[in-house]
Structure 1
Amino acid sequence: MRKGPSWFNLASIGLGLAFLYLPIVLLVAWSFNAGRLVTVWSGFSTHWYAALLDDDALRDAAWVTLRVGVLSASLATVLGTLAAVGLVRGGRFRSRLLFAGLIYAPLVMPEVIMGLSLLLLFVALGLPRGFWTLTAAHTTLTLCYVAVVVQARLVDFDRSLEEAAQDLGCPPWRTFLSVTLPNIAPAVAAGWMLAFTLSLDDLVIASFTSGPGATTLPMRIYSQVRLGVSPEINAVCTLLIGAVALGVAAWGLAGRARTRLPL
């Protein structure tokens, strides 16, 4: 007869979940506080959500963050997918170890070092810091994550499908677009979402590589929090939490719908 979980296991799980999610719950709750002080409850209100519509600085920062995230994630997905294909299908070519090391370096390199090195590069090239330097920096940061995700899928890919297509006269580039890419599409999509999330969350590298007119939402939030936390900041963070939760739920429902499709 199987025994149920002990009180120690339940308490450990409860404390772990509370440590992870209790601060988020408090943040969401205080975003509906009618007063400005975040330590004194003054009643329920959605005033701070309406105030976001009049905050031009936050809206501009959110728009910059969204554009940089979509563009850098798309570029990182293309380059990371090609890098993964080269690592898996390229065989033991010369300098493969060096190439793999350069691809995976951002995974273990501190973001401060990456941000400083990219800043020195842009200064040496005479490039003004702004939207495009920030996009290039985020592409460099997220490319390796896409390569890791796609490479894991390509390792288990059945190459007999590609061989069958090529035996029927399909050229290699069309084989990749018609056979390989549709089969690895979930991994490519997962890599894009991971790259977009990392770009949305980045603060350190953006602080080094951004410039006038390219202030991201994390930078704006950090600059305002240094002067004191306000319910308006809590409202922005709550909207971000809601967007992430909806995205995760939509992805999960889409995955369940795919598994129920008839073969």
Structure 2
Amino acid sequence: MTLAGLLTLCYLVLPNLVVLLFSFNKPDGRFNYTWRRFSADAWTDPCSVADLCDSLVLSLRIAAWATLGATVLGTAAAFALARHRFRGRPGVNALVFLPMAMPEVVMAASLLTLFLNLGVRLGFWTVLLAHITFCLSFVVTAVKARILSMDPGLEEAARDLYAGPVRTFLRVTLPIAAPGIAAGALLAFALSFDDFVITNFTAGSAVTFPMYVWGSVQRGTPVQVNVIGTAMFAVAVAAVAAGQLVGRHRRARADRRAGTRKSWHEVAS
């Protein structure tokens, strides 16, 4: 079982290692598909290729705003679905999962039809609205799962100690739900930054980083694309590692507090 897990991990990481390796390649022609010789020129100036960094900045802007919008709306919707009973709740639950089950090309064509019928000009705002739409479901699912696993006795204890609704939410409910909210936000950011199909339908003249990569494949992918991809992968790994370290530190601190309380109870008894 351990061997199978290691082989699966190597299979998943192998494409990223290939991207890393070819970010130090210096091809003879336009296509960076064959190893020629080692060079770090692409790392010294990754924005030397026209429009590459502009597309990257656009993707980061869209992903950031889409994450913010989807996280705020998705968190509110998750609390409503998990904590309240209202007419049409089963239907809303079904609609939440629809974008995740629907093929992207169908959703992209539907959004394009909607924007064209409304007379909306395709560009930054249409892409942003489209990304919030399909990221919303993933945020709702992640936050709702966290809320349903919460112990309601903790909020009841806070109310018994004369904490008001706002104070209970800010001091008890929100910190417990924070890991689910963070997971939904990170998932939304990754999905938005990486999306191509829906963006291609709704972008108009705007060019995001995935669209730039797709277009560059036809005329020759520059080495700088591998540099950007490697850098984004490194940032993602660093974020996950930081989250693991923070979580481990919090668990260790909680264990120490629990051990201290146990020692005091033993002394008192």
Q: Same fold (TM over 0.5)?
A: yes
- CA–CA distance in 2 between the matches of 1:228 and 1:215? 17
Identity of aligned residues (%): 41
- CA–CA distance in 1 between the matches of 2:161 and 2:14? 58
Deviation string 1:136-175 (CA, Å, 9 cap, x unpaired) is 1111111111111111111121223323444555443443
What TM-score, normalized to structure 2?
Answer: 0.85
- CA, structure 1 residues 179+98, in 2 after alignment: closer, same or farther (shift >3 Å)? same
AA paired with 2:127?
L
Which residue is equivalent to 1:53?
47
In the TM superposition, what are the counterparts of 1:137-156 in structure 2 within 5 Å? 137-156=130-149
Gaps of 5+ in 2: 258-269
8 Å CA contact retained: 1:36, 1:230: no
Tell me, yes or no, if structure 1 residue 231 matches structure 2 residue 215. no
Which residue is equivalent to 1:70?
64
- CA, structure 1 residues 234+136, in 2 after alignment: closer, same or farther (shift >3 Å)? same
Tell me, yes or no, if structure 1 residue 101 matches structure 2 residue 87. no
- CA, structure 1 residues 205+162, in 2 after alignment: closer, same or farther (shift >3 Å)? same
AA paired with 2:221?
V
Task: State the 1:84 CA deviation.
Answer: 1.0
8 Å CA contact retained: 2:213, 2:221: no
Deviation string 1:192-213 (CA, Å, 9 cap, x unpaired) is 111101111100011111122x
Query: What's the secondary structure of 1:226's corresponding residue?
Result: helix
Give the stretch that moved more between structures: 151-160 or 231-240: 231-240
Question: What number of residue pairs does the alignment pair up?
Answer: 253
- CA–CA distance in 2 between the matches of 1:191 and 1:238? 23
8 Å CA contact retained: 1:61, 1:215: yes
Tell me, yes or no, if structure 1 residue 220 matches structure 2 residue 189. no
Which residue is equivalent to 1:158?
151
When the two chains are superposed, the root-mean-square deviation of aligned CA atoms in Å is 2.1
- CA–CA distance in 2 between the matches of 1:82 and 1:13? 37
- CA–CA distance in 2 between the matches of 1:176 and 1:113? 39
Task: State the 1:29 CA deviation.
Answer: 0.8
- CA–CA distance in 2 between the matches of 1:232 and 1:71? 26
In the TM superposition, what are the counterparts of 1:149-228 in structure 2 within 5 Å? 149-167=142-160, 170-212=163-205, 214-228=206-220
- CA–CA distance in 2 between the matches of 1:114 and 1:57? 28
What TM-score, normalized to structure 1?
Answer: 0.87
Tell me, yes or no, if structure 1 residue 129 matches structure 2 residue 122. yes
Give the stretch that moved more between structures: 170-179 or 73-82: 170-179
Give the stretch that moved more between structures: 233-242 or 189-198: 233-242
- CA–CA distance in 2 between the matches of 1:255 and 1:17? 23
8 Å CA contact retained: 1:131, 1:210: yes
Task: State the 1:181 CA deviation.
Answer: 1.0
AA paired with 2:107?
M
Deviation string 1:91-118 (CA, Å, 9 cap, x unpaired) is 3x22111111111111101111111111
Task: State the 1:54 CA deviation.
Answer: 2.2
Tell me, yes or no, if structure 1 residue 26 matches structure 2 residue 18. yes
- CA–CA distance in 1 between the matches of 2:167 and 2:58? 36
Query: What's the secondary structure of 1:52's corresponding residue?
Result: coil
- CA–CA distance in 1 between the matches of 2:21 and 2:104? 32
Gaps of 5+ in 1: none
8 Å CA contact retained: 1:203, 1:219: yes
Task: State the 1:134 CA deviation.
Answer: 0.9
Tell me, yes or no, if structure 1 residue 243 matches structure 2 residue 235. yes
8 Å CA contact retained: 1:36, 1:231: no
Query: What's the secondary structure of 2:122's corresponding residue?
Result: coil
Deviation string 1:45-104 (CA, Å, 9 cap, x unpaired) is 11122342223411111111111111111111111111111111113x221111111111
